[in-house]
Structure 1
Amino acid sequence: MKISEFFNNELVVTNFDAKCKEDVFDVLYKKLYENGFVKESYLEAIKKREKNFPTGLQLNRYNVAIPHTDPEHVVKPAIAVATLKNPVIFKNMANPLEDVKINIVFMIALNEAHSQVEMLQQMVQLIQNDNLLEKIIRANGGGEIINLIVETFENKISM
C-alpha cells in the first residue's frame, strides 16, 4: 500500500498554534478518533510510548516527529498531520536526552504490525525531501498537503 493512501483531509491540521507536544497529540487523536480510525485507548498509548521511545527527528531545515503506537489501539490505518505555527519540543529519537524543535507531526495509526516497517520506510523518503516539507508547512489545508504527498509518490518514489 502506498503511503499516500493513508492520508485523509479530515486528519490534517495546518498552522496549529500548539504550546507543547501534548496539544498536538490531543488534536490529532481527536481527529483520528472522531473519524473512526483509532480506539479510545490510542491517546494514552501514544503518550506512554513517546515517553519511552521518543519520535522527534532532527533533520535539515524542518524537524519532524512521527508518533505511533501498537496496532491494538487502531481500528483502520491512517496518518494524521499537523503543521505547527511555532515549533514544539519533542525528545530526539536518536538521543532521548536531547530536545528537538518540531515543525511537522505525522501521527501514524497502523492496525497491522508488519505494515509498520514498510510505512516507516516510505515516511523516511517523505521527510528527507526538504522541498516537500517546506511546501507542506506552507500549505493552506489538508487537501493541499495530501495533493503534494500523492503527487510526490505518484510521480517518483526515488525523490
Structure 2
Amino acid sequence: MALLHEDLVLLDAAAPDRETLLRELAQVLLKKGYVKDSYPEAILAREAAYPTGLNTKGVALAMPHAAAEHAEKAAILVARLKEPVVFKEMGGSGKDVPARLVFMLAVDDPEGHVIMLGKFMSIFTDETKLVDLYETNDPAAVVAKLEAVLS
C-alpha cells in the first residue's frame, strides 16, 4: 500500500507556530480521509508529551504522529516550510529544533510504524539526501525520492 501521495506533499507551507502548523496539517489528512476526527487533538497531545523534532544535519525536521487508533489508513504527509517552525527535540532534551521539513504520519499499524521510522533514518542521517529532498520543487519527485528509500 502506498504511504506517499503527491496531494500530501505540501511545498512552502507556512504557520506562525507549532500548534497552528500541526492543526493545519492534521486537517489536510482529515479532509482527505486518512485520519479520524480525533487525530488533530491526539497529535497535539502526543507532540506535547513526546516531542518529535530532530536537529538533523542540513535540514532540521519533525515527525509528528498519533496513536494508530486515530488513523483510518496509513499515509505520510510531507510539508516543506517557508520559514522554520520551532519544535522541541525528540528525547526530552528540551532543546529547540527549527524544523524546515515535517513528516506527519498517519499510522494504522504500530509495528509497521517502527519499521518505517527505521527506513526514514537512512534519509535523516544523510545530509546530502535530506538537503536534496528539501530543495525538490515537484511533489511527484518528492514522492519518488522517498519511495526509493522506503521500499
Q: TM-score, normalised by structure 2?
A: 0.91
Contact 1:54 1:92 in 2 (8 A): yes
Residue 118 of structure 2: which of 102, 121, 127 is its match? 121
Contact 2:119 2:150 in 1 (8 A): no
Deviates more, 1:31-40 or 1:134-143: 134-143
Alignment of 1:99-110 (within 5 A): 99-110=96-107
Look up the equivalent residue of 1:20 and give its one-letter code: D
Look up the equivalent residue of 2:125 and give its one-letter code: Q
Look up the equivalent residue of 2:143 and give its one-letter code: I
Distance 2:5 2:148 in 1: 15
Contact 1:68 1:109 in 2 (8 A): yes
What CA deviation, in whole Å up to 9, does each residue of 1:130-158 have, x standing for no partner? 2222122222232121122234556xxxx
Give the superposed CA RMSD: 1.6
What CA deviation, in whole Å up to 9, does each residue of 1:26-64 have, x standing for no partner? 232122111111001001000000010000011112111
Distance 1:151 1:116 in 2: 17
- Give, in angstroms, the shift of residue 119 of structure 1: 1.1
Q: TM-score, normalised by structure 1?
A: 0.87
What SS does the aligned partner of 2:57 have?
Answer: coil
- Give, in angstroms, the shift of residue 121 of structure 1: 0.5
Q: Structure 1, unaligned stretches of length 5 or more?
A: 155-159
Distance 1:115 1:152 in 2: 15
Distance 2:59 2:16 in 1: 18
Query: Who is 1:98 aligned against?
Result: 95
Residue 23 and residue 98 in structure 1: after superposition, are their counterparts in 2 closer, same or farther (change >3 A)?
same
Contact 2:14 2:82 in 1 (8 A): yes
Deviates more, 1:8-17 or 1:94-103: 94-103
Query: Who is 2:54 aligned against?
Result: 57
- Give, in angstroms, the shift of residue 110 of structure 1: 0.8
What CA deviation, in whole Å up to 9, does each residue of 1:68-93 have, x standing for no partner? 11000000000001111111100011
Contact 1:38 1:74 in 2 (8 A): yes
Distance 2:149 2:118 in 1: 15
Distance 1:129 1:20 in 2: 27
Contact 1:83 1:136 in 2 (8 A): no
Q: How many residues align?
A: 151
Residue 6 of structure 1: which of 3, 7, 11 is its match? 3
Contact 1:54 1:96 in 2 (8 A): no
Are 1:131 and 2:128 matched, yes or no? yes
